[in-house]
Chain A
């Protein structure tokens, strides 16, 4: 059993040399990038929209207890039941117990990353409950028994040919690779599930404190069917999803859609508060909201990285990330991929096992630049690197090497001595023809590269010569 870090390296090497995969992802992300440029142009001032979104989430996250209590009070007044889950296990157990008590045989789900985080589907399936993912992308990866490839576009890594072959095998009666007809086939396959399921499970993009409602966005309309037709609706969201006011959605809905897909606003921007009330025509008899902590309150306790909880899961940082585009979503081996996943996962699942993600970055800052709520993502990757070192999770060899390096850097004499020793060592290795062999301490670098050229003199020696040279040019024009 290899570590998560070793697996990441192996899969990254595999995926980055898979040209078909690269072409597919480049095509999908190019489409996205074009839409986002058009989408942002609809704003008079996109930067102002980012700033306001940042401020809304900052206000909410920095008064999280207050707004969650306000939300709880208001949504309960509408007839909802609220459960606070400390861990994945708590949340799974609540839903599983509810499903058992209410004799649920079939569950329809709309796309929810939190349900991926808590591994809900296997827990329900173990009880003999049939679970249908109803977002098309999620439906496809569920049929393939795969995790989502991307926060927003779960089946980004597949061609229509792959999907056609999958549908032919799993659904039968499908003999086309026309996207229109593939969508129609999925619609028909899921239609029966929608009308027969006893329980619908959705996530929530926002929990609106002042109105006691959850906000769920969906383009396909599947989240709406999940929350309208079954007799029980369960919504699950991380505690960081709360926002103060419904009016905040006037900014957040367009910003989420633009950052996520380039759309002006998502097709169905829904607010749900409570089960069907006495004078309403339809809707579920029961509405449960699960507020999931699962490590988030620990992140809240870190003032330096608290703003990571501002994330609205738009997926924009994945799309702009040169690492994500090269190694692909599955390589991360995490629920949340890309820059936000690399920042968040060590907090949710332990820095020891997931510290390697902080180094899977070129620190180019594209993620920070695109983030619609202005999370300083690439600096948080640096913070995680520092934290990993401080918690002594590095190997003793690495720690020793850096100790020696630090000591040698702290004195001019020591620095000169180590420089001279290094040059002599390199010269010896090159001279003996050992560069790149197992006897070369720098093999990790030299095995695939030409040997380093060793300068004859140190920079300091060159500088001193220059300073003492008679008739030195003052302006240094050369």
Chain B
């Protein structure tokens, strides 16, 4: 399995180079550039509207204290069992406000188990255009946003960006793309329409995606 065992590599490269010595016809000339998407005037309004359409539950709260209370309310409706939480100082501060019926598993103690009831993580960014949540490996790992039936995202208004371009450029500046082996733009909860094109929510991933958005 060493790279030296790959004689095909040079042959494929040689074939490609030979092939590309003959140029392909010039691609259709494009005149002036038009905008692909309409500019987004009110990112928060757009984000909330998109969430409604893609089945993300967006709960806006005035501040961090209210975030903790909103999470407590969601957890109170769940049966006991493991709840996985990204280990961050902010979430550590919120945890005392949550009901005691759950066994909190912090990400510093390993990934979420197969039977996790819910996961609670931060996000890298929120995207207004599509009502999406961008997470990385640093948001509790790869499994944190996919393994449990409920994923709760704790975010702030300063994380909201208008579109995908701004999300990418911000993450590049911060080194998120270079630093993480995993990033995912999550839009709504897991779904399938493989049976007669009928939409069913909750295929292999979370049935519910909840964004607790602090407006502070």
Q: What is A's interface to B at a CB cutoff of 8 Å? A: 27-28, 31-32, 42-45, 48-49, 51-52, 54-55, 58, 61-65, 68-69, 78-79, 81-86, 90, 97-98, 101, 134-137, 140, 153-156, 158-160, 163, 179-180, 182-184, 186-187, 190-191, 194-195, 211, 213, 219-222, 224-225, 227-229, 239, 246-247, 249-251, 253-254, 261, 264-277, 280-283, 287, 291, 293, 297-298, 300-301, 303-304, 306-307, 374
Contacts and interface: CB of A to CB of B under 8 A. Distances in A.
Contact of A297 (B19, B110, B143): B19
Contacts of B15: 293, 297-298, 300-301
A135 B192 CA distance: 9
A303 B17 contact: no
A259 to B, nearest CB: 14
A224 B36 contact: no
B103 interface: no
State the main secondary structure of chain B at its contact with A.
loop
Interface in B130-169: 130, 132, 137-138, 140-144, 146-147, 163-165, 168-169
* Closest 9 A/B residue pairs (Cβ): A221-B205, A281-B141, A220-B203, A301-B19, A250-B164, A137-B194, A282-B111, A228-B142, A297-B15
Interface stretch (B22-30, B58-66, B67-75, B89-97): B22-30
A83 B143 contact: no
A355 to B, nearest CB: 22
B193 A261 contact: yes
A305 B184 CA distance: 34
Interface of B: 1, 3, 6, 8-9, 11-13, 15-20, 22-25, 27-28, 30, 33-38, 50, 54, 107, 110-111, 114, 130, 132, 137-138, 140-144, 146-147, 163-165, 168-169, 172, 177-178, 180-198, 200, 202-206
B13 A180 contact: no
A283 B185 contact: no
Q: Tell me which of B17, B22, B35, B200 has the highest count of chain A C-beta atoms within 10 A of its own C-beta.
A: B200
Given A64-B20, A84-B8, A254 B141 contact: no
Contacts of A86: 8, 11-12
Contact of B165 (A194, A213, A250, A274): A250
Contacts of A266: 187
Given A64-B20, A250-B164, 13 more contacts: A62-B23, A78-B181, A134-B204, A136-B192, A250-B168, A264-B54, A264-B130, A267-B187, A270-B185, A276-B137, A282-B142, A283-B141, A300-B16
Contact of A272 (B27, B164, B181): B181
A351 B104 CA distance: 61
A271 B182 contact: yes
B132 A265 contact: yes
Contacts of B203: 136, 183, 186-187, 219-222
7 contacts: A48-B34, A159-B196, A220-B191, A227-B142, A246-B168, A249-B164, A254-B130
Most buried by A among B37, B107, B192: B192
A143 B204 CA distance: 18
A270 B22 CA distance: 35
A164 to B, nearest CB: 9
B184 A269 contact: yes
A253 B168 CA distance: 13
A101 B1 CA distance: 10
A452 to B, nearest CB: 42
B194 A45 contact: no
A62 B24 contact: yes
Contacts of B198: 160, 179
Nearest to B164: A250
Contacts of B178: 211
Contacts of B190: 219-221, 267-268
Contacts of A49: 36
Contacts of B202: 183-184, 187
A127 to B, nearest CB: 16
Nearest to B130: A265
Given A84-B6, A163-B195, A54 B27 contact: yes
